Amino acid sequence: MDSTPNIAKIGALLGDNARARMLSSLMHGKALTASELATEAGITAQTATTHLAKLEAGGLLQMRRQGRHKYFALAGEEVATLLESLMGLTTSHEPLRTQTGPRDEQMRQARVCYNHLAGNRGIQLYDHLTGSGKLVDEGGSLLITAKGEHFVNEFGIDLDTLRASRSPLCRSCLDWSERRTHLAGSLGRAFFERFERLRWLKRVDGSRVVKFSARGEREFDSAFTVY
């Protein structure tokens, strides 16, 4: 029997518009109820329940209980990376004169991609790290250098703790709006959380948009200059 992974199974799950809309609505990294996801997809609660069961069985969603309520979230960062990449591939078929990605300028500038920074600011972060030799791409694998380790620790991120987790440290993710790469993985998540703690940025409720403060923009540009 052919041992090639059956990608058709995942393709079938993503090929339904309602399921695709529900998955996309979870890209901000927060869990939603079945009724909230039904509203996002424009379908009835009963139909949403059927779709959610299929997505959970297919490994794309995970369900969490809190009291009497059930909440659904993406099964992990790998699913978010897949969705963001598919958004970029979808827009790659548009004429070049057409603006790709979200039309909302705030979404294009900075947004959360599940748990890491995306948009122009996310690309700036990635370009700085690779351009300054803190991250290198070796055979398709994104690796942190000794220079990068020093920088990350000095920035207030505990690299040893990240390495102790099961999540990949560095992962590249194709940015939906710019069709370029931003940083995912546990390091991408750690940078985003650090930016939040420093109050450089904050999430916009009910949206993937994140807004930088004036001080945050200055500090970010100073720390992550593009070479």
Per-residue pLDDT, 87: 79
C-alpha atoms less than 13 angstroms from C-alpha of 75 in its C-beta half-sphere: 14
Per-residue pLDDT tens digits for 39-56: 999 999 999 999 999 999
16 has pLDDT over 60: yes
pLDDT of residue 34: 93
Question: Tens digits of per-residue pLDDT, 123-152?
Answer: 999 999 999 999 999 887 899 999 999 999
> What confidence score (pLDDT) does residue 97 get?
38
Confidence (pLDDT) at 1: 47
What's the pLDDT at 82? 87
CA angle, residues 103, 107, 111, in degrees to nearest 5: 155
pLDDT at 103: 53
Burial 134-149, CB ≥16 within 10 A → b, else e: bbeeeeeebebeeebe
Q: How does the average pLDDT of the chain come out, rounded?
A: 88
CA 62, CA 78: separation in Å to the nearest integer? 13
Q: What is the pLDDT of residues 55-110, one digit of tens each?
A: 999 999 999 888 788 899 999 888 988 888 787 666 554 443 334 445 568 888 99
- Domain chopping of the chain, boundaries: 7-75, 78-223
Q: Note the pTM of the prediction, 2 decimals.
A: 0.72
Length of the chain measured in residues:
227
**Whole-number percent of the chain with pLDDT over 70:** 90
CATH number of this structure's domain 7-75: 1.10.10.10
Number of Cβ within a 10 Å radius of residue 220: 22
Distances (CA, A) of 134 to 15, 38, 127, 179, 189: 38, 43, 10, 22, 17
For residue 169, pLDDT beyond 70: yes
